Amino acid sequence: MAEFVTLDVTDGIGTIRIARPPVNALDLQTHRELVAAAREADGNAEVRAVIVYGGEKVFAAGDDIKEMASFSPGQAALLAGDVQTALGCIATIGKPTVAAISGYALGGGLEVALGADRRIIGDNVKLGLPEILLGVIPAGGGTQRLVRLIGPSKAKDLIYTGRFVGPEEALAIGLVDEVVAPDEVYNAARKWAAQFVNGPARALAAAKAAIDGGLAGDLASGLDIERREFSALFGTNDVEIGMRSFLAEGPGRAKFTGE
């Protein structure tokens, strides 16, 4: 049974909750539990959208530095792949995902949030990748996902300096998508996720695969992925439902089954 990370499913929305007091520092056990929760959410047909949440006080204030400080060079080399897998696991969920961020999302905590499709924060949140201040660099995908999200110049500034970013700047540079009152973070995430509960699950997964797969290669490769994903959808029930509904009633009235 998981000790620090749980998956709760309510009304088609899965909430992956990180709870390792006092600040949700991400140790190796938490890494393993995050991966397990992400896989469970991805494989559970009842889950149509996913929220990753650290609670009302803090999302995750970073890696467990006490544990990390004990790594030898050999251990660091062996564990680096596991760290990337764990902190990037939200990105592997083939469903709409949103990070609901309270308090702080630093280091590995921000890397977890970078794997989500959307990030919603409270207006008192601090974000950052301060690993450089420890003499290391982000190892959970931060040097790659942050660049793709906000561009190389802004990403280099944040990674080189290790400085914290407040809500106003985070929104301006595209690091986050929505800023709300601190006590509305989770509710805002559920409101966004709820849009997809009765949506065409296969088409949403295809759209995500095409977008994310395209980002990993050149335009021609991305267009090839798009063609494959588009064509495969014509064997689904939701395409029949969607087309039939459109022809009879116009757009936006289809009642999809997710199949």
Rounding to the nearest 10 degrees, give the CA dihedral for residues 136, 33, 82, 54: -30
Catalytic option among 3, 67, 131, 178: 131
Q: Distance between CA 80 and CA 76 in Å, rounded? A: 6
Contact between residue 51 and residue 190 where contact means Cβ atoms under 8 Å apart: yes
259 catalytic per annotation: no
Which residue matches tokens 């116009």? 250
Catalytic option among 67, 111, 168, 226: 111
Ranges of beta strands (E only) in the chain are 5-10, 13-18, 49-53, 97-101, 104-106, 118-122, 126-128, 178-180
Closest to 16 measured CA to CA, from 52, 55, 56, 60: 52
Which residue matches tokens 């029949």? 240
111 catalytic per annotation: yes
Which residues belong to the active site? 111, 131
